Amino acid sequence: MNDSLVILLHGVGSNGADLAGLGDFWHDSFLPDTAFASPNAPQRFPYQHSDGWQWFSLEGVTPENRPARLEAARADFDVLLNRIIHAHQMQDQLHRVVLVGFSQGSMMALDALASGRWPVGGVVAFSGRLSTRDPLQAANTPVLLIHGQQDEVIPWRESESADARLRAAGYHVEAHYEPATAHTISIEGVQQAGAWIAEVLGADEQD
């Protein structure tokens, strides 16, 4: 019986299988008693022929309308998370659930926490941004931000901004900026995140 759950949230145009390998690695290296889920986002990605999905559309997206896109995506996101969490019988143990996102998946993970909808045990955001409107829901939940400083898709300063806003709302934030990493998850980031999740879940067991 697994005592914790990590849900992996992929980037736009990708799919759940793209991040599933992270779960396999972390299970073997850091989290042997943790279950992993890596779902497809609810919407089809319309700009390619491969099996791509998205949490919300990028068509005409701007900094001004992105928060509204995010808010419109919440209902389908919450249905998906509810289904996964109930399937793993973790609905009464959200403190034992960690959300891990990449890019657009990071936006959804951070929003799930900062909006107060999903008081999970922790969030890892690779190459993301915090697009949730203020005021953020105050909490002391641990958050790990990892971002490459060569990222030309989502500038690393977005994670720097997220760090400041989350800290101001009471979150325990740890941020790592990788000078040579572009818009991807590095080996170093994988190792850091796996160890961090194990520490967060281990600390929860001791509380």
Rg (CA), the chain: 16
What pLDDT does 48 receive?
Answer: 61
The yes-or-no verdict on residue 172 having pLDDT over 90 is yes
- Report how far residue 202's alpha carbon sits from residue 207's, in angstroms, rounded to the nearest whole number: 9
Beta strands 4-9 and 142-148, pairing class: unpaired
What pLDDT does 50 receive?
Answer: 67
- CATH 3.90.1300.10 applies to domain 4-206: no
Greatest alpha-carbon span in the chain: 48
Work out the pLDDT band at 205, boundaries 50, 70, 90.
low
Local structure of 66: helix, strand or coil = helix
Local structure of 107: helix, strand or coil = helix
pLDDT tens digits for 140-164? 999 999 999 999 999 999 999 999 9
52 within 8 A of 11, measured Cβ to Cβ: no
- In degrees rounded to 5, what are phi and psi of residue 9? -120, 110
Q: Measuring CA to CA, how many Å separate 3 from each of 72, 81, 158? A: 32, 17, 33
Return the axis-axis angle of helices 187-206 and 16-29, rounded to nearest 10°.
Answer: 60
Which residue carries 């005409």 as its tokens?
60
The 10 Å Cβ neighbour count of residue 139 is 17
Work out the pLDDT band at 174, boundaries 50, 70, 90.
very high
pLDDT tens digits for 82-110? 999 999 999 999 999 999 999 999 999 99
- Selection from 10, 164, 1, 161 nearest residue 77 by Cα: 10
Work out the pLDDT band at 203, boundaries 50, 70, 90.
confident
Q: Is 170 left (phi over 0), alpha (psi -120 to 50) or beta?
A: left
